[in-house]
């Protein structure tokens, strides 16, 4: 059996994801034309409020989610984790025990 590639309807630049919410609502809408994000949101079972098809193929979806589910994170820099001396000691003891 030969595996067929899914047709690409959007260029990489057009495979966008847009998150929209305002202070007066408890919900956010997410529009995406990115296959990666479509899969992610479908696995999370986000409710679909709109779908777009071209020549019988799904090209984009709009989801509606609780605004609390939206999270923005800053870049995590390696080595910036702050640990107490007590926590460091516990980690060192655990490493010593695992090596024995």
Q: pTM of the full predicted structure?
A: 0.67
Number of helices followed by number of strands (H, E) in the chain: 2, 4
pLDDT for position 97: 82
Q: What is the mean pLDDT of each run of 10 residues along the chain (100 residues)?
A: 59 91 95 94 96 91 95 79 86 82
What are the backbone angles phi and psi of residue 30, rounded to the nearest 5°? Answer: -125, 120
Q: Per 3-state DSSP, what percentage of the chain is helix, strand, and coil (rounded to 5)? A: 30, 25, 45
Output the six-digit token pair for 94.
């655990």
In 10 A of CB 32, how many CB atoms? 19
pLDDT for position 4: 45
pLDDT for position 83: 82
Residue 46 C-beta-side C-alpha neighbours within 13 Å: 26
Q: Is 3 helix (H, G, I), strand (E, B) or coil?
A: coil
pLDDT for position 42: 95
């Amino acid at each position: 059996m030969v595996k067929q590639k899914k047709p690409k309807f959007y260029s990489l630049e057009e495979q966008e994801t847009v998150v929209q919410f305002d202070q007066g609502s408890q919900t956010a809408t997410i529009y995406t034309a990115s296959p990666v994000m479509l899969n992610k949101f479908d696995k999370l079972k986000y409710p679909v409020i709109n779908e777009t098809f071209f020549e019988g193929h799904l090209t984009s979806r709009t989801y509606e989610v609780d605004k609390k589910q939206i999270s923005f994170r800053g870049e995590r820099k390696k080595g910036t984790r702050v640990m107490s001396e007590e926590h460091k000691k516990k980690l060192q003891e655990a490493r010593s025990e695992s090596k024995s």
